[in-house]
Structure 1
């Protein structure tokens, strides 16, 4: 059974412990030291860009590879040893350079470009966790080996990094032969890299229910407006009290001797609230009011005549 290589998603999304266990399992199954070392460099890039702490990732495994693997196996990645110089004590580091390079001059010549590139980036490559107040993502554009462009976004990055620093860190990925798609290396050249910050205006998780609160305020405003339409009664004056006559805000019509008209039962304030909230059906004298047809209108008009 062939063991699948470590994917780009695993290296840049898995937690520290899970990813370290995945490294160890892959090496136990394949004994592919150069591949593990390249993946470890990719993790150093993640540690430099992101706020999580991946410093000295898989230190024990990486040190054993440089100290015990046959130099011939590491020939293709020996220039990458400078990324892990801080993993070793001075005595161990001397052993590593002696095993991988014939002379010190060869070491300096083959690692010159790599050392010059990461000289200013080492504080980021070995940085610990960096709590931040603002969430940010790194948006980048690469070309693959065939010259085709593609984008890559990395979440939870440090917003304090400059675009130039991000560009220099991503350029490290172009020196690795990882992350291939259909046999084509995806990270061949960096075109663009910049950080975009995320500033949420509000967090609905902290609210009880914004929609419900808004609906309730609308209903209360409607109830208030309807209540203002109900005629207010004024206090009874002494003269009116003596005559036992109620006095309203509107003057009563003169008594013509005709039979008083029956007043339809009015709506109380509670009824208005219930109707606005949909809990009281609209009724007319206890009966559901239906729209009148043309014939009903004619009959009603004839009765009035």
Structure 2
């Protein structure tokens, strides 16, 4: 098996978009290393903000595949916020539930209790 070479920092900030897309995609499909792949893509978002070239939504399909199909990991939970624009609102909700199942469940229960015990009873007092 051919050994996959990581991109250097210099390459990430100097190579053209098409070349980077090809290399990052190749790297991911050979190694299945979500963390490094996502870190490369974040670096390209920085390059998009700082440079003149367009790197917006680079490898959008790969990002979506990684976040929606890979096993949730600490790295994915840490970096998912940087890719909110890559998903529709509905997909973002599904992704949040997928990555943070306990937090989402607890948040929904707390909101329900808050609404039930605090907001509703206080509405009745406003008119009196």
Normalised to the residue count of structure 2, the TM-score between the two structures is: 0.76
- Tell me: CA distance 1:31–1:51, structure 2 relative to 1, closer, same or farther (3 Å): same
Pick the structure with more strand per residue. Answer: 1
CA-to-aligned-CA distance 1:201-260 (integer Å, 9 cap, x gap): xxxxxxxxxxxxxxxxxxxxxxxxxxxxxxxxxxxxxxxxxxxxxxxxxxxxxxxxxxxx
- The aligned length equals 105
CA-to-aligned-CA distance 1:252-289 (integer Å, 9 cap, x gap): xxxxxxxxxxxxxxxxxxxxxxxxxxxxxxxxxxxxxx
Pick the structure with more helix per residue. Answer: 2
Does the CA contact (< 8 Å) of 2:67 and 2:76 recur in 1? no
Task: Tell me which structure has the larger Cα radius of gyration.
Answer: 1
Paired position in structure 1 for 2:60 = 59
- Runs of 4 or more, structure 1, over 4 Å off, are none
Is the counterpart of residue 88 in structure 1 residue 55 in structure 2?
no
- Equivalent residues in 2 for 1:77-116, closer than 5 Å: 77-102=76-101, 103-104=103-104
- Equivalent residues in 2 for 1:44-55, closer than 5 Å: 44-55=45-56
State the shift of 1:106 in Å.
8.5
State the shift of 1:79 in Å.
1.9
- 1:43 and 1:105 mapped to 2: Cα distance? 34
- Tell me: CA distance 1:20–1:105, structure 2 relative to 1, closer, same or farther (3 Å): same
Q: State the superposition RMSD in angstroms.
A: 1.8
- Tell me: CA distance 1:104–1:21, structure 2 relative to 1, closer, same or farther (3 Å): same
Normalised to the residue count of structure 1, the TM-score between the two structures is: 0.33
- 1:53 and 1:76 mapped to 2: Cα distance? 26
Return 5+ residue gaps in structure 2 as ranges: 108-128
